[in-house]
C-alpha cells in the first residue's frame, strides 16, 4: 500500500545519526540506551561525512585487526575515522530476533552514504525503536565536508556542526525514513543489523 511500509530490507547498510560537533564519547550507562544510541549515530555520521567511500573501503581492510599503515596513522582525519569505524563494528548485533528478517554480517559503515537525523527514540518492551531520516550524501557535499574538516585543523569550533551538516545534505535528491531496533546484548545496548525502511 502506498504510503505504508511496503517491505523489510535485510540490509548491509546502517544508518548514522546527526553529528553534534565532534564525535565525543558520553558517559556510559548501560541502563539508559539514549546516550549510547546518540553516540553511535554521531560517530556514524562523523565517519560518513568526513571520509570518502574509497577511503572507507581501504580502511575496512584493517578492521580485522591488521595494523593500520603509517600513511593512515599520520592523517588525523582518517585515523579518527578508523577508530570510530572500529567502535561502530562492536555495537552491531548481527541477528535481531525481533525483526522479520535476519541480517548477515554487515560492513554498512564502509559502504553507506547517508547522514542520519534521529526523529524519535521509543522504548518498546525489551527493545528500543529509533525512527530516523537518512539523507543521501552526494559526492560534492561529501567533498565539501571533508575540505571543511581539513581546513578546521582539528579545532572543535571550526569543524562543521550537526546543523551545518544537515544544511548541506538536506537538499539531497534522495532520503529515506527508517526504523532501527536496539537490544541489549552482553549487557550493552546494540543496534540490530536489519533496518525497516518505509517506501513511499
Residue 29 near residue 70 (C-beta atoms within 8 A) = no
Q: Name which of 82, 14, 21 is nearest 47 in CA terms.
A: 82
Domains of the chain: which residue ranges? Answer: 8-198
Q: What percent of the chain has pLDDT over 90?
A: 52
Calculate mean pLDDT across residues 5-26: 39
Residue 9 banded pLDDT, cuts 50, 70, 90:
very low
CA 42 to the chain's CA centroid: 7
Residue 200: is its pLDDT beyond 80?
no
Average pLDDT, the chain: 79
Distance, CA of 89 to chain centre: 10
What confidence score (pLDDT) does residue 10 get? 34
For 144, list phi and psi in degrees, rounded to 5: -65, -45
- When computed from its CA atoms, the radius of gyration of the chain, rounded to whole angstroms, is 16
Among the listed residues 50, 195, 53, 71, the one whose alpha carbon sits nearest the alpha carbon of residue 133: 195
Q: Is the pLDDT of residue 26 over 80?
A: no
First-to-final CA distance of the chain: 9
Is 18 a residue whose pLDDT tops 90? no
Instruction: At 122, list the grid cell.
Output: 521509543
Per-residue pLDDT tens for 142-179? 999 999 999 998 777 888 888 888 889 988 788 999 99
Residue by residue, DSSP assigns the chain as: -TTS---EE--S--------SS-PPPPP-TT-HHHHHHHHHHHHHHHHHTS-HHHHHHHHTTTTSPPPPHHHHT-HHHHHHHHHHHHHHTTEES--TTSSS------HHHH--EEEEEEEEEEETTEEEEEEEEEE--HHHHHHHHHHHHHHTT-GGGSPPHHHHHHHHTT-S-EEEEEEEEEEETTEEEEEEEEEEE--
* Weakest mean pLDDT among 68-82, 85-99, 144-158, 177-191: 85-99
Q: What does the alpha-carbon distance between residue 183 and residue 63 come to, in Å, rounded to a whole number?
A: 24
- How would you class 144 by CB atoms within 10 Å of its CB: exposed for 0-12, middle for 13-18, buried for 19 or more? middle
Amino acid at each position: 500500500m502506498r504510503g505504508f511500509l511496503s517491505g523489510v530490507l535485510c540490509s548491509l547498510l546502517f544508518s548514522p545519526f546527526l553529528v553534534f560537533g565532534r564525535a565525543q564519547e558520553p558517559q556510559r550507562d548501560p541502563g539508559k540506551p539514549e546516550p549510547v544510541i546518540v553516540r553511535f549515530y554521531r560517530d556514524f555520521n562523523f565517519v560518513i561525512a568526513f571520509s570518502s567511500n574509497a577511503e572507507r573501503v581501504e580502511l575496512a581492510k584493517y578492521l580485522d585487526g591488521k595494523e593500520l599503515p603509517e600513511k593512515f596513522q599520520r592523517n588525523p582525519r582518517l585515523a579518527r575515522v578508523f577508530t570510530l569505524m572500529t567502535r561502530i563494528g562492536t555495537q552491531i548485533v548481527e541477528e535481531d530476533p525481533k525483526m522479520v528478517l535476519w541480517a548477515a554480517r554487515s560492513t554498512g559503515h564502509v559502504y553507506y552514504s547517508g547522514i542520519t537525523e534521529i526523529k524519535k527514540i521509543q522504548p518498546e518492551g525489551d527493545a528500543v525503536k529509533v525512527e530516523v531520516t537518512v539523507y543521501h550524501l552526494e559526492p560534492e557535499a561529501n567533498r565539501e565536508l571533508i575540505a571543511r574538516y581539513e581546513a578546521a585543523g582539528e579545532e572543535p569550533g571550526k569543524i562543521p556542526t550537526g546543523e551545518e551538516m544537515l544544511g548541506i545534505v538536506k537538499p539531497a535528491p534522495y532520503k529515506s525514513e527508517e526504523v532501527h531496533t536496539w537490544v541489549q546484548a552482553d549487557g550493552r545496548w546494540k543496534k540490530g543489523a536489519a533496518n525497516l525502511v518505509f517506501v513511499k
